Structures are given as structure tokens and as C-alpha cells.
Structure 1
Amino acid sequence: MEVESLRGKSEKSPMEQPNSSDAARVLRNRRKWRTISFTVIGVLVFIILLVVILAFTAFKAKRPVTTIDDVSLRDLRFSVNLARLQVLLNATFHVNISITNPNKVGFKFKDSNAELSYRDQQVGEVPIPAGKISADQTVPMNLTLTLMADRLISDAKFFSDVMSGELPLSARTEIPGKVNVMNMFRIRVVSTSSCDFTVYLFNSSVGDQNCQYKTQF
């Protein structure tokens, strides 16, 4: 009986050795894939954190600014008929604006326009075509605005302003666009500028310019 028992043990041991070897191999493979998975997850987390940090530091969206650099008279003609209390006025203005993009990425803006107003009443308009401004770039634009005098006839203050020789006007631009940060974050912005100025009719000049600039995300 003892001989058979020993013989049985010797017959079983070769079968048990491969089973324990397979289990060890499976365990090693699990550890290997677990290590690879943790490594991949760690790399992805690092990349995501890096992108977020860059998006809010070096590539943080900044406010593009539109400025009205100068408003000047190109042409002015006016006459006053005191008997009929009528004013004939034709005026054309040069408006020089510049759009500055302080971002590290490009700024795309849509079609917009520049408006000329007299006492909050629009009396002129010129289109500003859509475009793109590269990173850290300033683009100048030269616009021509024509005053539509027929819109001023009905204003009660127009005649008295002309008689005083000082015509209060304002120029305004509103340029909507977006900043695309690393092709992941698209931030919409609206850059607005406005300038109040006075046209001195008797010497055909422009003065008292007061400008304000605003950008909204």
C-alpha cells in the first residue's frame, strides 16, 4: 500500500506543476496589464492637466481691443437759409481704427459695421468685412463715413447746433468674433469702441474727441 501511495504521488506531481506555472503566468500578466493601464491613465491625466494649465496661463484668452485712432474731416459743405430755417449739410469723415489681438492664437471676427450718430440717432454707416488677426498682431483699418444730412432735418436741436457752429457726433464700432484656444476652447468675444467728437463747422475741423473701449467675453 505504501508503494502504491508513493507511486500515486509521483504520478500526480507532474500534473500539478504545470497548473501552478499557469497560475503564476496569469498573475504576472495581470500585474503587467495593470501596470500598463496605470501608466496610460497617468500619461492621459498628465496631458489633460498640461492642456488645462496652458489654456489658463500661456494660452489664456485675452481681450481683443478695437480702438478709434483718429477721426478727421474729408469733406464738409454746409449752408444756412435763415428765411426758411433750412440747413444744407454734406460731410464725409475719415475714421482710422485698429484691432489688436493680444492672444497667442488667432482672432476671427465676423462682418460688422461702423456707425455715425448725432444725438443717439444714426446718420451714417459703413461695413467692416470679416477677417482674421494673427497672434500678437494689430491690424489698422481706414473707414469712410458719410453723414446723411436728411436724417437731421427733423431734429429740433440740429438747427441751433449748426448756428452755434458746433455739431456733436459720435462714431461707434462693435466687432464680434471668437478666439480658438488650442482647437479645444472657443471663446466668443465682442469688442466695442465709441468716440464722441465735435465738428467745428466754421473752420472745418474736428476736436474734443473722447473715446471709450470695451470687450466682453
Structure 2
Amino acid sequence: METQSNTKPMTPPPRRWKRLRIVCLAVIALIVVLVLVMVILGLTVFKAKRPLTTVNSVALKDFDVSVDIARLRVNLNVSLDVNLSVKNPNKVGFKYTNSTAVLKYRGQVVGEAPIPASKISADQTSTMNLTLTLLADRLISNGNVYSDVISGTLPLSTFTRISGKVNILSIIKIHVVSYTSCDLSINVLNRSVASQTCHYKTKL
């Protein structure tokens, strides 16, 4: 015959229960304070700012041109040295992925140069030198080249897109993209950059 146990579950003494309650409340309050501090820092001191890409200079490295009047064709060899700087105004580092600088002729991509992935420390500026070489075979079917060279002005443009992330307090990751484009006019006779207009855009 089974006997029923009258043993009641043990409960902490009132004082011990009170201490446990105080400890739990203190831990919760500490967590709330830490979260509030992190949010405030994230919105003020560590607020994500947009890295700025600037084209410091564009210069002709090589420029060789020959005109075949009989065939109405032009043979071009063009290389540009582009000096870029990327400024990170954030209080934390900015990491960007592999990218590419592009050389265009009337909207057509005619040359490329890689931009290797890297990291820019807080409040630092990174400078990079790129060489963009025009690939002549991409212009064979473009009928505007001959007329542009004969007129004495060759329009080119450069475009870069640098994409990366800003890590705030190692918890919040904000994606940032910086765009740079420059419109160039190459003086065929002087073999120099006659004019340069650059546009910059960044977004979070």
C-alpha cells in the first residue's frame, strides 16, 4: 500500500528571496544602462559618417595616336595616372571590399584597374595611385573616335565605386558606398588633360 508524501517544496527564506530579487533587479538595471550607453554613443560619438573619395589628380602617362586617313581609322595608346584619396571621418575603422576603377569613352568601358580590399583606420585618409590603360581593341567598332581625334579633343571619363562597412562597437555594421566620376577632355595636339570635372556621391 502506497503512502502519500506530505513533503512540501522548499522555498528560500524571506531574506534570501529578497536578496535574489535585488540581485536580479540590479543585473537588469545594469544591462539597461549598458544598452542605453551604447545607443547614445552609437548616435553621437560613434555615429556612422560617409567616407569621402576624392580624385586628387589625373595625368596622362602615355598618349600615342596615329591617323589612317585612307581607312578613316585611328590607332590609340592612352594611359592615365589617377591619384585617389579615401577619407574615413568615423571614430572606428572602415573596411572596403575589392573594387574596380573604370575608364570610359562616351559611356563605353575601355579600360579597368583593380582596387584591392583594405581597411582605413579611424580619422585617417588612404591614398592610392591607379593606372588606367585604354584597350584599343574595344574602340575598333566605335565610329566616333576618328572624328574626336581629328577635332583635337578626346572625351574620356573615370568611375570608381568603393563599397565597405563601418563597425560600430563591434555590434552594429553599417554598409557604406562611395562613388566618384570624372569627365575629362584630352587635348590631342598638346597631349595633356585640357579639363577635368569630378562628381562625388556617398550613401549609407
TM-score by length of 2: 0.91
> In structure 2, what is the equivalent of residue 157 of structure 1?
144
Partner SS for 1:115:
strand
Q: Identify the residue that residue 119 of structure 1 maps to in structure 2.
A: 106
Query: 1:207 & 1:29 partners in 2: Cα distance?
Result: 84
1:42-61 paired onto structure 2 within 5 Å:
42-61=29-48
Task: Give the Cα separation in 2 of the matches to 1:196 and 1:125.
Answer: 16
CA shift for structure 1 position 193: 0.7
What is the number of equivalent residue pairs in this alignment? 194
Do structure 1's residue 35 and structure 2's residue 18 form an aligned pair? no
Give 1:41 shift: 1.1
Question: Pairwise mapping of residues 3-152 of structure 1 onto structure 2 (< 5 A)?
Answer: 26-152=13-139
Query: 2: distance between equivalents of 1:147 and 1:63?
Result: 31
Output the CA distance in 1 between the equivalents of 2:79 and 2:15. 83
TM-score by length of 1: 0.86
Q: Which moved more, 1:197-206 or 1:146-155?
A: 146-155
Q: Which runs of 5+ in 2 are unaligned?
A: 1-10
Distance in 1 separating the partners of 2:174 and 2:194: 37
Q: CA deviation at 1:40?
A: 1.5
More helix by share: 1
Name the aligned partner's letter for residue 123 of structure 1. V
Gaps (5+ residues) in structure 1?
Answer: 1-22
Distance apart, 1:209 and its partner CA: 1.0
The alignment yields a C-alpha RMSD, in angstroms, of 1.4
Aligned to 1:210: 197
For the pair shown, the structure with the greater C-alpha radius of gyration is 1
Q: Does 1:194 align with 2:181?
A: yes
Post-superposition shift, 1:81?
A: 1.6
Give 3-state SS (helix, strand or coil) of 2:13's partner: helix
d(CA) in 2 for partners of 1:75, 1:168: 16
1:26: how far off?
A: 2.4
Q: How many Å separate the matches in 2 of 1:207 and 1:58?
A: 43
